[in-house]
Amino acid sequence: MTTGPATDAGLRSHPKIASALLRYRVMAWLTGVGLLVLTYSLLRYLPGLGDLPHAEAISRVLGPIHGTFYILLLITTFDLGTRVRWPWGRMLLTALAGTIPFLSFVAERRNQAAVKATLSR
């Protein structure tokens, strides 16, 4: 992905979309990182890994936090998607990306590029 005058000018001329994109990106990263840490804590259920350090405490504390972040990701996805007129399928796939480790990072990059490309036209 390239950033340059064309893509940045598109965002500057649409401040509400730029702020919606920023909110979405922050929530995608927070949700993704939270899911990765939560996935570590779930490894304790695999045979031979039942004594992972602090796994239960991580799960107990981070589970509700990740759930809250995911709900905020859904809201920011809907906000951004309606502002740039994404089809419902794209919004649904973006929302589902927050449930699979590492996929929220991929979706965030692709969605950021798509928004910038749309605005630079």
What is the percentage of the chain residues whose pLDDT exceeds 70?
Answer: 81
Q: What is the mean pLDDT of the chain?
A: 85
Task: Tally Cβ neighbours within 10 Å of residue 54.
Answer: 11
For residues 14, 25, 98 and 114, what is the CA-based torsion angle, rounded to 10 degrees?
A: 50
Average pLDDT over residues 25-47: 85
Instruction: Give the residue among 45, 68, 69 at the shortest CA–CA distance from 55.
Output: 45
- Write down the domain spans for the chain: 15-119
For 89, residues 6+ apart whose C-beta sits below 8 A from its C-beta are none
Residue 80 contacts residue 21 (beta carbons within 8 Å): yes
pLDDT in tens, 38-65: 887 776 666 666 666 777 777 788 889 9
Residue labelled with tokens 């951004």: 80
The token pair at 17 is: 């979309």
Q: Give the Cα separation of 23 and 15 in Å (integer).
A: 12
Q: Give the Cα separation of 86 and 112 in Å (integer).
A: 12
What pLDDT score was predicted for residue 115?
93
For 95, residues 6+ apart whose C-beta sits below 8 A from its C-beta are 73, 74, 77
What pLDDT score was predicted for residue 49?
61
Q: Which residue has the higher pLDDT, 97 or 12?
A: 97
